[in-house]
C-alpha cells in the first residue's frame, strides 16, 4: 500500500441486523438515514454480525446488500460498508454485487469482510462452499486480490454512450482477469469498473486471524479494544486501524459504535465537523486512501480486434 494520509479521526456506525430489519419492515428507512446524518458518521457497516464473534448470531433475515441498497437511497454522502465473506460468497459474485452498488451510490460503497461467515448453516460452518478447504485467512486474502482484478477487467470508459454511435463499447479493451490462486477465475466481470476503481476493503479481524496479513491486503482493519495494544502498531504501518465500541482507545484512525436501537439516542461521540467538499467525495476519498494503482498493461483481451 502507498503512504497513508492521516488527517483526522473517522467515525463509523455498526448497524445491528434487528435495527435494519425493523427499519425496512416498518418503513423507517428514511428516519434511519436522518439518524445517521445527525451523528456525523463517515460510514456505516451492515452485516457485522456475520463477522464479529461478540455480536448476536445473525438470522440471515436480511441480506446486507439489500440493506445497503435501501440506505444508499436514504442518504446523500455517508459511506456504506457491505459484509461479504468468501466463506459463502464466491469472489466473482461478491465483486459483481459490490460493483453494482458502487455504481448505484456513485462511489460510496465499501466491502467489509473476514474469515468466517457466522450466518453459515451448521453443515457449512467449517467447510468451504466454492473451494475444498474451509474458511481461512488465505482464502479471504485471495478473494480480495481476485475481486480487485475483476473490477478492472471491463474499464468503464470503454462504454462510448454517444448519440448515433453505432459502437456501444470499445470492446477490444475488455480483458480477462486470469486470476489463479485459492480461487481460479477467468473473468471478465460483467459489470464495468466501479466509480472508485478499487472499492475500499475493511477486514474485521478476530483472535486467530493473521492480523498483519489482513493489514497488508486490506485498506482498513477493525479490531476490538483488547487487540489494539497487541496489534495496533503493526496494523497502522500498513492500513487504517478502527476500534469497536472503545471510545477511550488512542493511537487509532477511527472509532466504530454499535447501534441497535433507533429510538435510544446517540452519545458515542460529539458530532464531528465535516470538511469542505464532503458531499462530493467518494468513500475512498473521504478516508484519504491512496489512489489505486493502475491496472496492469498487456492483459489478455476477451475480444481482440473487435469493433462493436
Where residue 108 sits, what CATH number does that domain have? Answer: 3.20.20.30
Among 10, 239, 52, 138, which Cα is nearest to 231's?
239
Is 182 within 8 Å of 138 (Cβ atoms)? yes
The verdict on residue 297 lying in a domain is no
The verdict on residue 305 lying in a domain is no
The verdict on residue 154 lying in a domain is yes
SS3 label, residue 127 = coil
The verdict on residue 117 lying in a domain is yes
The verdict on residue 224 lying in a domain is yes
Q: How many domains in the chain?
A: 1
Is 107 within 8 Å of 284 (Cβ atoms)? yes
pLDDT value, residue 1: 47
Residue 271 sits in which domain range?
10-286
The verdict on residue 293 lying in a domain is no
The verdict on residue 5 lying in a domain is no
pLDDT value, residue 41: 94
Helix (H) or strand (E) holding 145: helix 137-151
pTM of the model: 0.92
Angular region, 300: left φ>0, alpha ψ -120 to 50, beta rest? beta
Per-residue pLDDT tens, the chain, 308 aa: give them.
Answer: 456 777 789 999 999 999 999 999 999 999 999 999 999 999 999 999 999 988 888 886 789 999 999 999 999 999 999 999 998 899 999 999 999 999 999 999 999 999 998 888 776 767 777 877 788 999 999 999 999 999 999 999 888 877 777 677 788 889 999 999 999 999 999 999 999 999 999 999 987 778 888 999 999 999 988 889 889 999 999 999 999 999 989 999 999 999 999 988 888 787 777 666 666 689 999 999 988 777 777 789 888 876 66
The verdict on residue 301 lying in a domain is no
Amino acid at each position: 500500500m502507498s503512504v497513508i494520509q492521516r488527517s483526522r479521526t473517522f467515525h463509523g456506525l455498526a448497524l445491528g441486523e434487528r435495527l435494519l430489519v425493523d427499519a425496512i419492515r416498518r418503513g423507517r428507512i428514511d428516519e434511519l438515514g436522518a439518524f445517521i446524518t445527525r451523528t456525523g458518521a463517515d460510514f456505516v457497516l451492515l452485516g457485522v454480525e456475520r463477522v464479529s464473534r461478540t455480536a448476536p448470531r445473525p438470522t440471515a433475515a436480511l441480506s446486507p446488500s439489500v440493506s445497503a441498497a435501501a440506505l444508499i437511497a436514504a442518504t446523500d454522502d455517508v459511506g456504506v460498508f457491505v459484509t461479504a465473506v468468501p466463506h459463502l460468497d464466491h469472489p466473482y459474485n461478491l465483486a459483481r454485487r459490490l460493483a453494482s452498488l458502487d455504481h448505484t451510490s456513485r462511489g460510496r460503497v465499501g466491502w467489509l469482510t473476514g474469515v468466517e461467515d457466522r450466518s453459515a448453516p451448521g453443515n457449512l460452518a467449517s467447510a468451504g462452499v466454492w473451494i475444498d478447504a474451509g474458511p481461512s485467512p488465505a482464502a479471504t486474502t485471495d478473494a480480495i486480490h481476485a475481486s480487485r482484478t475483476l473490477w478492472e477487467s471491463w474499464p468503464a470508459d470503454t462504454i462510448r454512450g454517444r448519440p448515433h454511435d453505432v459502437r456501444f463499447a470499445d470492446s477490444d479493451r475488455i480483458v480477462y482477469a486470469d486470476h489463479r490462486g485459492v480461487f481460479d477465475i477467468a473473468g471478465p466481470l460483467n459489470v464495468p469498473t466501479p466509480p472508485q476503481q478499487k472499492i475500499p476493503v475493511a477486514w474485521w479481524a478476530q483472535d486467530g486471524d493473521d492480523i498483519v496479513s489482513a493489514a497488508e491486503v486490506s485498506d482498513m482493519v477493525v479490531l476490538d479494544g483488547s487487540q489494539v495494544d497487541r496489534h495496533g502498531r503493526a496494523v497502522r504501518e500498513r492500513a487504517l486501524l478502527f476500534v469497536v465500541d472503545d471510545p477511550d482507545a488512542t493511537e487509532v484512525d477511527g472509532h466504530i459504535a454499535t447501534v441497535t436501537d433507533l429510538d435510544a439516542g446517540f452519545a458515542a461521540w460529539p458530532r464531528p465537523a465535516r470538511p469542505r467538499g464532503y458531499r462530493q467525495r467518494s468513500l475512498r476519498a473521504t478516508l484519504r486512501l491512496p489512489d489505486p494503482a493502475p491496472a496492469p498493461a498487456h492483459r489478455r483481451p476477451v475480444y481482440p480486434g473487435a469493433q462493436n
